[in-house]
Chains A and B, each alone.
Chain A
Amino acid sequence: MNQIAQIEHVDVIDTNPITGYQSFKLGNFVISRDEYFAKITWQVDGKEHSHLMSADAFLRAVMRDVAWGFFYGWVNFDHVIGTQNHYGSVDFYAGTFNGVLKAAGVDYVENFQTPKIMATFKAILHDWVNEGFDPFAAPEETGSAFGRKNGNNSAAIDRYRVATKRMPGLEGDSPLRDDLPVNRHFLDVDQDEPLVHCEPGFEGQLSGFNLFKYLSRSDVTWNPSVTSVCKASLFCPTTEEYILPIFHGNDRVEWFLQFSDVMTWNIADKEDGSPIARIEMKPGDICAMPANIRHQGYATKRSMILVWENATADLPEKYASGELPPYPIDF
């Protein structure tokens, strides 16, 4: 168990004698798993409600939420379960952003201090991710999430979001990826680096790198990682394969630019999950994700996309209050 889990109390209920997995309590939620499913249980008016997710899909979703530090806004694991980041505390909800469950009054949401829910989610990953399963990888690249407890894969789940101050490769900044192998889907991507010539006395002040090479060596899928910082404007490209393991409802506008190959985005209402649009993006396409939607991407071939975020701290309340419209451009 890692350091934060030792400091923040993680409520382990028991270890199932048959499956070998631990069950966890997070406030009034009970989170357990068996050979196939993760089960989330909560109470409304003294009555039990519950939701099952494929263990495979659940672990891929929790992996992103942990690696991203709960990210921006809503991270829906599926149409029922998810988290909302309040940047210091985090809501964990069941049904609160599902139109039918919310209207029926059977939803439940509880707020947790970020270290508490982070420690619990990490403990779930450490216990439930078996040897040979990498929840950060695409299905073709990794083994099965199913079955009874069989070892663990701490190396796979202890990877975090790259923190970049200005640009990878600059002195004192995040590293390039020359030590990682090229992904099997990107073997045809040029690996040449730009020519950088600095006059004497200016060594290290000019810098360039091959971004597509850097992305071709990404060892994870669906993990926006910062590669350039212009004040609060963050370029966070990532490589995508299979399905985005979460349905992201942002608390601000973000933009996607397709660098390579093809992706499809399913767009739904942020509050109730009703479908709004499907967007197909091809190389060079750029589009906004408005602040009132949730989106989930699909990619058959591993593809390179640029996720562009504005990290300005006061944006969520401006969108929530209506001071800013949800759509970035009026034309």
Chain B
Amino acid sequence: MNTYTTKFGSLKQYDKGSIQIIQGKATNYAFSNVFEVAEKAQPYDKTIVGLNQKYVIETVRAEGQSPWYTASHDEFVIVMDGEIRIEFLKLKNPLDAEIEGTQLAGEQPDGVPMGYVVLKKGHQAILPAGTAYRFDAATTSVLLVQTIQGPLSLEKWSDICLK
């Protein structure tokens, strides 16, 4: 046995860890599994799995094409499973800087095509401030989004966390 097998999770195969409590409550740790959350979510629901003041980590089940999104600040996406293509537009009228979090950008945002990125498991991309972006999932995928809590962010802690 000279080689090691690195174990990643996937929608099809994940295994949730556990908390052994000595004092206090398990809910103090807000413990969930992003594959389990994505498995039970609707496509492109932005479920918050990490919340630190206004900042969030969202888990997204990517399936088919998403709406166009935009934000006034940089956001980042990491693909945890599957493969996605992200198209980008440079918006003619970007959001005001005070508006935080992911916003819907409308049916056909007014902007110039900037290009696209194709991400597989473990790949990360920047979703630059002032752009509109849209996901297209070739296969059902699991995404992590680093952003700020916004109008599309969903909280359902008691459904997703160990108790």
| B93 interfacial by beta-carbon distance below 8 Å | no
Contact B4 A187 (CB under 8 A): yes
CA distance A284 to B7 in the complex (A): 11
Interface mask (A129-142 → B, CB under 8 Å = 1, otherwise 0): 00000000000000
A61 neighbours in B (Cβ, 8 Å): none
B-contacting residues, A242-277, CB 8 Å: 253-255, 257-262, 274-277
- Residue of B6, B30, B55 near A188 (CB, 8 A) is B6
- Residue of A213, A230, A301, A327 near B4 (CB, 8 A) is A301
Which of A43-51, A116-124, A155-163, A190-198 is the interface stretch? A190-198
Which residue of A is nearest B18, CB measured? A280
| B108 interfacial by beta-carbon distance below 8 Å | no
| A228 interfacial by beta-carbon distance below 8 Å | yes
Secondary structure call for the A interface: mixed
Which residue of A is nearest B163, CB measured? A331
| A100 interfacial by beta-carbon distance below 8 Å | no
| B154 interfacial by beta-carbon distance below 8 Å | no
Interface mask (A287-331 → B, CB under 8 Å = 1, otherwise 0): 111100000000001100000101010010000000000011101
B17 neighbours in A (Cβ, 8 Å): 258, 262, 279-282, 285
Contact B52 A208 (CB under 8 A): no
Please list 14 pairs of residues, one from A and one from B, whose beta carbons are closer than 8 Å in the complex, sorted by A's number: A195-B117, A198-B115, A206-B125, A230-B76, A257-B57, A260-B8, A275-B23, A282-B9, A284-B14, A284-B142, A287-B29, A288-B30, A290-B29, A310-B53
Q: Given A279-B18, A308-B57, A331-B157, 9 more contacts at CB 8 Å?
A: A199-B112, A231-B148, A257-B57, A286-B57, A288-B28, A310-B52, A315-B53, A329-B27, A329-B51
